[in-house]
Structure 1
Amino acid sequence: MAQALTARQQNVYDFIVKTMGDHGYPPTRAEIARALGFRSPNAAEEHLRALERKGAIRIVRNTSRGIRLPAQDASVESAIDTVGNSDSASQGLPIIGEVAAGSPILAAEHIDRYCPLPAEYFTPKADYLLRVRGLSMKDVGILEGDLLAVHRTEHVRDGQIVVARIDDDVTVKRFQRQGHHVQLTAENTDFPPIDIDLRTQALDIEGVGVGVIRGGNGQALG
């Protein structure tokens, strides 16, 4: 980091890093305030601005979870700069573009290229990177043009961000389930939730989001 942090700033920074490691996305101001005993989210905001001035984080404006770690961004951007066009899995994590209706998400024709990041860069390990289209998840800091790191699993918990297939469509949303009913919720009030009755409609979970990185362009899923 460019400048030394105060003890309180270090606490905030450590909480951000832990939250991103545990959940794959940064905390909100309210979550920081609650975890660290601040009287209000405004106090958390003041610490975040101080961390940004010192080069410890980067704030993405107008999003509730818009916090980035510059060191992580730099290592990812460096890796993306060296991405080749080889179709060999040894090149790293596959970057998935558009997914054709009804076909497996990791089908060869969906892989645009590979990013030479190790799967273990994320916890749990990532199996692929999915390009993000649109702003339906902007309030958790998942923005247009980002790459969502995805861990392949069918087992998900309430509150996790998932890559879900509904009939022939693939989407990224927050997962909630009660009995036979599933709600897939956007992190943007402009988008209504998707309600699914598992007794009458097919839903397949392709994986859970384990991290977000900057990079990539063109068409994507959102």
Structure 2
Amino acid sequence: MTRPLTPRQQNVYDFIVKTMNELGYPPTRAEISRALGFRSPNAAEEHLRALERKGAIRVIRGTSRGIRLPAQEAETTPSQLTQPEPPSSQGLPIIGEVAAGSPILAAEHIDRYCPLPPEYFTPRADYLLRVRGLSMKDVGILEGDLLAVHRTDRIRNGQIVVARLEDDVTVKRFHRDGHHVTLQAENEDFAPIELDLRRDHLEIEGIGVGVIRGGNGQALG
């Protein structure tokens, strides 16, 4: 770190260090915003860019937890740099209920592990999310299925995403037009979720890359 930080930048930096020490991975912009009382994740992003310019952190573009501490990187292998939360050697973690506001891969959310390798799916899966409800039944994603999820926030219109809306996590088809986003259910009984990104917070946890029917190990690519 070669340049002094402002008090607010120091607060952000200290929160990043605290989160990484306690959880083993960096916070998202939304988590920084909630912890420090920012109005939106955009404010957190501005502080992260300032910290990067001052050499306090390194930001990896295109990932929600792409924050690195230069001092720690010197002790980290290249494979660790690209995977902030490495998949367990036991297999893919199966995520059940997700507590409000907490990281989706927090230990308390993992029900068990599936022995399928991440490379079984393309792109590779990072975890399996147990599906609740029937809002996506018309594309064959049913209650109790396991949705294989590739962690990314780079998405295209028409992809099925795992989205976090404030404290809720939902699976829907993604469409964006400027500031307007529609999260579309694949079931006519469910109304679409309409968002304006200028006022509504949306965080993409990943994209669906496959389904395991009923959680019984029969994978559908």
Contact 2:160 2:173 in 1 (8 A): yes
Give the TM-score taking structure 2 as reference length. 0.58
Amino acid at match of 1:112: D
Q: Please state how far the C-alpha of 1:216 moved relative to its aligned partner.
A: 3.3
Query: 5 Å matches for 1:68-217?
Result: 89-216=88-215
SS of the aligned residue for 1:102 comes to coil
Q: Matches of 1:119 and 1:134 in 2, distance apart?
A: 25
Q: Quote the sequence identity (%).
A: 82
Gaps of 5+ in 2: 1-86, 217-221
Deviation sequence 1:157-185 (CA, Å, 0-9, x none): 00000000001100000000000010000
Q: Matches of 1:161 and 1:98 in 2, distance apart?
A: 19
Q: Matches of 2:179 and 2:94 in 1, distance apart?
A: 33
SS of the aligned residue for 1:89 comes to coil
Aligned residue-pair number: 130
Deviation sequence 1:132-152 (CA, Å, 0-9, x none): 111100000001111000000
Deviation sequence 1:18-39 (CA, Å, 0-9, x none): xxxxxxxxxxxxxxxxxxxxxx
SS of the aligned residue for 1:149 comes to strand
Give the TM-score taking structure 1 as reference length. 0.57
Amino acid at match of 2:182: Q
Q: Matches of 2:214 and 2:183 in 1, distance apart?
A: 26
Q: Matches of 2:127 and 2:170 in 1, distance apart?
A: 15
Runs of 4+ in 1 over 6 A off after TM superposition: none
Q: Matches of 1:143 and 1:132 in 2, distance apart?
A: 7
For the aligned residue pairs, the C-alpha RMSD in angstroms reads: 1.2
Q: Matches of 1:90 and 1:113 in 2, distance apart?
A: 12
Gaps of 5+ in 1: 1-87, 218-222
- With CA pairs under 8 Å and 6+ residues apart, which has the higher RCO, 1 or 2? 1
Q: Matches of 2:144 and 2:176 in 1, distance apart?
A: 29
Q: Please state how far the C-alpha of 1:208 moved relative to its aligned partner.
A: 0.1
Contact 2:92 2:118 in 1 (8 A): yes
